[in-house]
A and B are shown apart, each in its own frame.
Chain A
Amino acid sequence: TFKYIYYAHDITYFCPFTGALRGTVMVTNYRLFFKSMDRPAFMLDMPLGVVSRVEKIGNASTRGDVSYGVVCKDMRNLRFAHKQLEETIKKSIFEVLMKFAFPVSNGLQIFAFEYGQVFPENGWKVYDPIAEYKRQGIPNESWRITKVNDHFELCDTYPSTLVVPVNIPDEELKRVAAFRAKGRIPVLSWIHPESQATVTRCSQPMVGVNGKRSKEDEKYLQAIMDANAQSHKLFIFDARPSVNAAANKMKGGGYESEDAYQNAELVFLDIHNIHVMRESLRKLKDVVYPNIEDSHWLSNLESTHWLEHIKLILAGALRIADKVESGKTSVVVHCSDGWDRTAQLTSLSMLMLDGFYRTIRGFEVLLEKEWLSFGHRFQLRIGHGDKNHTDADRSPVFIQFIDCVWQLTRQFPAAFEFNEYFLVTILEHLYSCLFGTFLCNSEQQRLKERTVSLWSYINSQLEEFTNPMYVNYSNQVLFPVVSLRHLELWVGYYIRWNPRMKPQEPIHQRHKELLAKRAELQKRVDELQREVTNRSVSSSSERPSSPTRSITPVQTFV
């Protein structure tokens, strides 16, 4: 399925770490491949999907060389140069990249639709909403599964399967939808197995400057509260800073007034919008790429505010988890549209609350559910194959989420079944356009059968992605310390291009080794045990006194 497109000699790649390298460039419909025979041999292999922008660098040379910069979405920039066009080179690398790195802008197909790799498992089957809700104990006496959105008529950015309070009929859901931005009504994300406190998600209410109210919406939130007998309160977590929420009234949106919603308490979580986050990551890239400066590292990092944003998101999720777990109170989470900050908050709080999501398959389910099916606009936020790199809709919302997950794995290194490489791999394929998982904006748009799921690839080599230190304390709720004392920059992702940053997982490595050693010893003990048993059986009827295995292995995943 790879098509050879372009190849040229005498290309110079300016590696920011080792200097200029001369070699050959090859471009396929999937990747750019640079190979240098200089010592030491060097290879660069990059999916075209990571290209954000390609530009000619004007003042490159006095000798008539042509120079190009490639700005990537994954925290690096590349620079190439070659001699002025010769007869033999029909097209410049610039033109090739401009065309094939941006298939959507050029009327071409994204590579995922051509990628025909067959894996033993079909990753699209990982998430079955009915099965997941059943795992949570849904339907029950308070919550039902509705098919009102089967054909995406209620809300075209929601999945077809939704869970709503039992006593709200489908007809009323439509009137609630009219009061919520983009029709994204409050629906259940997670229910506490004991207290029945729930995490529900939605978009902002269409209150507007005049303070419009909706009886149906008020009744609906009351129904959510009533579904939990443990508490006579409902917490509404508005992810935005209160100023932003208020400003949304000018556009017809806004937030729930506590007068209209009896027994509800509104909390603003002060998380900033997609534009602020984009700017923060841009600054971070400046600080970490290509080299980090020896002095002022921490204050430079501080000036990007990246970790502060991470902190606020985690803090919000922690408060949601705390309300649900410790307060036994149901919560409603929303931001403006309910597909960016809301997805971050619900999925992170669910990760804290429910050990299932901390397994590899559970995490896949979590992503499929809270991000993909509930319409996080991946196409818009990443801009797959789109050359319009200045698009204001692009934003690293999902990267931030994965960063938050990484922070949790740092604080609870034994609580997650997956390792750092799993998270890095997810982010690599966020851009690569090899798999269909992160294409499109919603479940309605997603053409699953025509692409391969990332989970097909991951689940067919689970060992690569498994944390050998994982201990399944499934009932443990994780309450991270959300303080800059414990938040760190994810060096293994943001600075991974720097060859001085050796990725080290020595603990994991050592642990795997110990596991192998244990297996070996266990085998030998078993063999000897058998031998002794055989011998004693043959020589006398006496039985050996020590049992074969006096120890049960620590739960491990090799």
Chain B
Amino acid sequence: MFSGKPVKATFKCYLPPAQTDVKTSPIEPPIKLEPRFLPGEIIVNEANFVRKCISPDNGQDDLWGRLICTNFKVSFIPQEPPPKQKAQLSHLLLGQHDISLTCLEQVVTVNDTRGKRKVLGSNKKLKFNPAELILYCKDLRVIRFCFDEAGPESAKKVCLAIAHYSHPADLHLLFGFEYQGLRYHEYKANPVNGSDPKGGTQIPFFDRPSDWDREIKRTGASEWRVCSINEEYVISHSLPEYIVVPVSLTDQEVKQYSTSFSDGRVALWCWNHRNGSALVRMAGLKDPLAQKKPVEKILTAITKSHRQRQEVILSDLDKSLPNIQDIQSAFVKARQICTLDPFEESEERWLSAIENSRWLEYIRMFLKHSAEVVYNLEGRNVSVVLLEEEDRDLNCVVSSLVQLMLDPHYRSLNGFQSLVQKEWVMAGHRFLDRCNHLKKNDNKESPLFTLFLDCVWQMTNQYPAAFEFTEAYLTVLSDSMWIPLFSTFLFNSSKQCNDLLQEFAKNKAIPQDENHTVFFPPVWNWSQQFSSRDQTLFNNPMYVGKGAACVQNGEVKTFQRTKKAFSSTMRIPSTSHRNGVRAEEEHFHRRGSLVSELKADFSPVKDESPSERFFRDWFSRPADQQGLLIPLVLPSHVVLWKLFFLRWVPEACIPHGGPATVYHKVSQLVDEIETLQSKLRQYKGASPRGTPVPSSSGPPKDQTRMYFKATSPGDSPASPDILNSSFPFSPVGNLCRRSVQGTPISKFLNGAKTWLSTETLSNDTF
């Protein structure tokens, strides 16, 4: 479009590109794209005349450009800038064709002559000149570069550089340290231009007693207290410095008992139910054969902290849930199925392949187990101790899921972020090992956090009005794991974080601050990555939060699920109902029951357990979005998270469709409502005396809360062109093997081979 080439239809835009586009938009001179670098970023190696493969069959859509490897990313600079992508989430630190080195899962080169593949590691040799480079990314992108026109030596060098720099020998070598150090000094030198790294985030980090205190007060956990026995990490290297323990335990007792536990991880309080029951997580004993006394003491203390002195339930997650290797292998399989090339290959046995990966099965197991814990806390009013050998993996998933189900606070954006901070970052989830940032030990790699995000997505999918954030937010959060600039996902524990940062501060001449995160910010300050407009994509327009009170005088009062079922009762007009049936109903009466007798013989239904009854009762009532939420864990209701798994696959992208179309519509409506509300406030302000304005329910003052705005009279209705099932991401620029537009069906048409050739030809005629 910009280069004056004939306009050509692509699969993304089904119809030929509208010529009017060119006329209406001012013709911009072709911009020579220059690589953009962050402070401290340097080019390590590069190759020119590299081809990024997009359509392997004819190569027409392929991009030519420069492939650069820096100490932060792999960057591809196309010679001609592609047409601007409207409304695509744009990253402030990474361009459309960039991949951070941390995001590389596997670097594979392909030999020219025999098509031999070689996986490149750090300091590997390459005996042949690579014809192709395939980058498998942690965020499920698969990117191919061809070197047919590039100098063979430079191609080889850039491949080796990418392989080498994506395997840092030491955590210090991750680009984040370089970047944040420079950024700190830049900010200090010129505080006006630099944004405050911590600015805007009001997330409690749980690295100080006050954060825990607030949480104790918020949940009404009056029988629990903050204990500072782990200051300087004296009892445990992986627990936070401040932990919450039963009031009946003295600091000395905590210290004493902790020695029996793995890494000193004595019971760690997570959350309290208003009925008095508590959720606690705990590691296993160092020596399983040793005396159980410390455990008993702690359990007694937990019991004492329960208002009704209720017993404590131990929930051993190691026994009932898959281990981290199982989870890793399930994820690897699911990822393979979803990124398999060509697309049709996985189509035939798609369902059983997904099943065989076991990913969805594991999601269900975690949700189900968490729901059982919820039953104990809520239905039985007993405290639950989650038990895991190290208390740093499965416990993170289950404890945070339980809290999401029970406490609406965590379903708000800030609440959710504080939950991750509390149950993952401060609880010592080994992000460094599980993400395998250093690619040193594959055995320790496991996508626990991804699994958790998928579980959360399943809940948002079932209860779309209960969460303040969108699935785009969850996806972006998972992507942030692979950008090594945020302290959140880089370390195995808060101690490791502290130690490294102190060392780093010394090296970079950064004065010690009481708040170390100031110079190594967490991910939660989203303005590091996205513009404020793009951040509105995180806001769920359907959210029924505490602030989102409903119409006061209108019909709708609270948001409730109506029990309008497509039930066995056929709904015919009520008059006809009266005609026939109602009169006879009065005669119905019953005699002594035979049911109990019959049940033994006939009933295929086994007796209901108390927990089954609890769940059945709960599901039979309308759900309160601001109350307890229990996910359905039936296999038919736990489904593949398409945005996460399929967003980069062009063949799977529904043009003008997908959930984004609903998001678009509802956002506009909410924007309109907020505009009306602000207008009401204006009127209220303008007419101080006695106008009949009911007090507004406090909608946010920020008028740009919604990504899509209501259309004003002059505008044409918002075009849905930008919407597709990958929104706000775009699969454009990724390899696409679609033989028939929109339809990977050639596989199914073996009877019509002759047709395929002509179909392909006719597609090329316009």
Which residues of A line the B interface, CB within 8 A? 1-4, 7, 9-10, 12, 14-24, 26, 28, 30-31, 33, 35, 37-38, 43-47, 61, 81, 115, 117, 119, 233, 241-243, 265, 267-270, 292-299, 301-302, 307, 311-312, 315, 318-319, 322, 325-327, 411-415, 420-421, 424, 428, 432, 434, 457, 469, 471, 473, 476-486, 488-489, 491-493, 495-497, 499-504, 506-507, 509-522, 524-525, 527-529, 531-532, 535, 546, 550-556
* CB atoms of A20 and B585 under 8 A apart: no
Which among B352, B463, B603, B676 has the highest number of chain A CB atoms within 10 Å? B676
Query: Please, which residues of chain B bring their CB within 8 A of the CB of A506?
Result: 463-465, 561
Query: Please, which residues of chain A bring their CB within 8 A of the CB of B547?
Result: none
Given the known interface contacts A524-B693, A532-B683, the answer about A556 and B580 at a Cβ–Cβ threshold of 8 Å is no
Query: Please, which residues of chain B bring their CB within 8 A of the CB of A432?
Result: 570
* B347 lies within 8 A of chain A by Cβ: yes
Q: Give Cα distance in the complex from A81 to B601, angstroms.
A: 12
Given the known interface contacts A20-B602, A415-B657, A502-B632, the answer about A326 and B741 at a Cβ–Cβ threshold of 8 Å is yes
Q: Give Cα distance in the complex from A243 to B766, angstroms.
A: 33
Query: Please, which residues of chain B bring their CB within 8 A of the CB of A298?
Result: 351-352, 354-355, 360, 635
26 A-B pairs within 8 Å (CB atoms) are namely: A12-B594, A12-B598, A19-B604, A26-B581, A28-B580, A117-B575, A241-B751, A292-B635, A296-B355, A299-B356, A302-B349, A319-B743, A326-B766, A414-B664, A428-B566, A473-B717, A473-B720, A481-B651, A482-B745, A485-B347, A485-B652, A500-B619, A510-B542, A514-B669, A516-B554, A525-B676
In-complex Cβ contact of B654 among A33, A296, A411, A519 (8 A):
A411
Q: Give Cα distance in the complex from A552 to B668, angstroms.
A: 11
Query: Please, which residues of chain B bring their CB within 8 A of the CB of A12?
Result: 594-595, 598, 602
Given the known interface contacts A413-B661, A481-B742, the answer about A510 and B559 at a Cβ–Cβ threshold of 8 Å is yes
Taking CB as reference atom, which chain B residue is nearest A28? B580
* CB atoms of A501 and B662 under 8 A apart: no
* CB atoms of A424 and B601 under 8 A apart: no
Query: Please, which residues of chain A bring their CB within 8 A of the CB of B556?
Result: 512-513, 516-517
Taking CB as reference atom, which chain B residue is nearest A40? B620
Query: Please, which residues of chain A bring their CB within 8 A of the CB of B665?
Result: 414, 469, 471, 511, 554
- Other than the given A471-B665, A554-B665, 5 more pairs (CB < 8 A) read A12-B598, A270-B749, A411-B654, A486-B652, A502-B619
Taking CB as reference atom, which chain B residue is nearest A16? B604
Looking at the assembled complex, report how far the CB atom of A209 sits from the nearest CB atom of chain B, in whole angstroms. 20
Chain B residues 715-746 with CB under 8 Å of chain A are 717, 720, 725, 740-745
Q: Give Cα distance in the complex from A402 to B505, angstroms.
A: 65
Looking at the assembled complex, report how far the CB atom of B169 sits from the nearest CB atom of chain A, in whole angstroms. 40
Given the known interface contacts A10-B591, A492-B566, A552-B712, the answer about A480 and B758 at a Cβ–Cβ threshold of 8 Å is no
Query: Please, which residues of chain B bring their CB within 8 A of the CB of A265?
Result: 755, 758
* B686 lies within 8 A of chain A by Cβ: yes
* B710 lies within 8 A of chain A by Cβ: yes
Taking CB as reference atom, which chain A residue is nearest B686? A532
Query: Please, which residues of chain A bring their CB within 8 A of the CB of B509?
Result: none
Given the known interface contacts A297-B635, A479-B655, A514-B673, the answer about A22 and B590 at a Cβ–Cβ threshold of 8 Å is yes
Taking CB as reference atom, which chain B residue is nearest A511? B666
* CB atoms of A522 and B676 under 8 A apart: yes
* CB atoms of A485 and B350 under 8 A apart: yes
* B579 lies within 8 A of chain A by Cβ: yes
Given the known interface contacts A12-B598, A302-B352, the answer about A497 and B568 at a Cβ–Cβ threshold of 8 Å is yes
- Which 10 residue pairs spanning A and B have beta carbons closest together? A2-B580, A297-B635, A242-B751, A298-B355, A521-B676, A484-B350, A19-B605, A302-B351, A19-B603, A414-B661
Q: Give Cα distance in the complex from A86 to B355, angstroms.
A: 53
Which residues of B line the A interface, CB within 8 A? 9, 14-15, 343, 347, 349-352, 354-356, 360-361, 462-465, 542, 544, 550-556, 559, 561-562, 564-570, 572-573, 575-576, 579-581, 584-585, 587-591, 593-595, 598-599, 601-605, 619-620, 632, 634-637, 639-640, 642, 646, 651-659, 661-662, 664-666, 668-670, 672-673, 675-677, 679-680, 682-683, 686-687, 691-693, 710-713, 717, 720, 725, 740-745, 748-749, 751-752, 755, 758, 762-763, 766
* CB atoms of B666 and A520 under 8 A apart: no
Query: Please, which residues of chain B bring their CB within 8 A of the CB of A525?
Result: 676, 679-680, 683
Given the known interface contacts A315-B748, A481-B652, A510-B465, the answer about A20 and B595 at a Cβ–Cβ threshold of 8 Å is yes
Query: Please, which residues of chain B bring their CB within 8 A of the CB of A477?
Result: 14-15
Looking at the assembled complex, report how far the CB atom of A517 sits from the nearest CB atom of chain B, in whole angstroms. 5
Query: Please, which residues of chain A bring their CB within 8 A of the CB of B686?
Result: 532
* CB atoms of B661 and A46 under 8 A apart: no
Given the known interface contacts A22-B595, A532-B687, A551-B675, the answer about A514 and B666 at a Cβ–Cβ threshold of 8 Å is yes
Q: Give Cα distance in the complex from A81 to B192, angstroms.
A: 83
* CB atoms of A507 and B542 under 8 A apart: yes
Q: Give Cα distance in the complex from A488 to B752, angstroms.
A: 27
Given the known interface contacts A483-B744, A501-B636, A510-B559, the answer about A520 and B553 at a Cβ–Cβ threshold of 8 Å is yes
Given the known interface contacts A315-B743, A480-B657, A516-B556, the answer about A491 and B636 at a Cβ–Cβ threshold of 8 Å is yes
* CB atoms of B559 and A47 under 8 A apart: no
Query: Please, which residues of chain A bring their CB within 8 A of the CB of B679?
Result: 525, 546
In-complex Cβ contact of A479 among B579, B605, B720, B742 (8 A):
B742
Looking at the assembled complex, report how far the CB atom of A126 sits from the nearest CB atom of chain B, in whole angstroms. 18
In-complex Cβ contact of B462 among A31, A420, A504 (8 A):
A504
Given the known interface contacts A26-B584, A481-B653, the answer about A469 and B662 at a Cβ–Cβ threshold of 8 Å is yes
Q: Give Cα distance in the complex from A31 to B589, angstroms.
A: 20
Looking at the assembled complex, report how far the CB atom of A258 sits from the nearest CB atom of chain B, in whole angstroms. 9
Given the known interface contacts A2-B579, A517-B551, the answer about A478 and B657 at a Cβ–Cβ threshold of 8 Å is yes
Given the known interface contacts A20-B598, A434-B572, A506-B465, the answer about A268 and B712 at a Cβ–Cβ threshold of 8 Å is no
Q: Give Cα distance in the complex from A483 to B740, angstroms.
A: 12
* CB atoms of A518 and B742 under 8 A apart: no
Query: Please, which residues of chain B bring their CB within 8 A of the CB of A19?
Result: 595, 599, 603-605
Q: Give Cα distance in the complex from A17 to B606, angstroms.
A: 10
* CB atoms of A412 and B661 under 8 A apart: yes
In-complex Cβ contact of B561 among A45, A483, A485, A509 (8 A):
A509
Q: Give Cα distance in the complex from A299 to B355, angstroms.
A: 7
Q: Give Cα distance in the complex from A122 to B109, angstroms.
A: 69
Given the known interface contacts A12-B595, A414-B662, the answer about A326 and B14 at a Cβ–Cβ threshold of 8 Å is yes
* CB atoms of B594 and A22 under 8 A apart: yes
Q: Give Cα distance in the complex from A209 to B356, angstroms.
A: 47
Q: Give Cα distance in the complex from A529 to B576, angstroms.
A: 47
Which among B561, B587, B588, B743 has the highest number of chain A CB atoms within 10 Å? B743
Looking at the assembled complex, report how far the CB atom of A336 sits from the nearest CB atom of chain B, in whole angstroms. 16
Q: Give Cα distance in the complex from A152 to B343, angstroms.
A: 49
Taking CB as reference atom, which chain A residue is nearest B658? A411
Q: Give Cα distance in the complex from A326 to B763, angstroms.
A: 8
Query: Please, which residues of chain B bring their CB within 8 A of the CB of A485?
Result: 347, 350, 640, 642, 646, 652
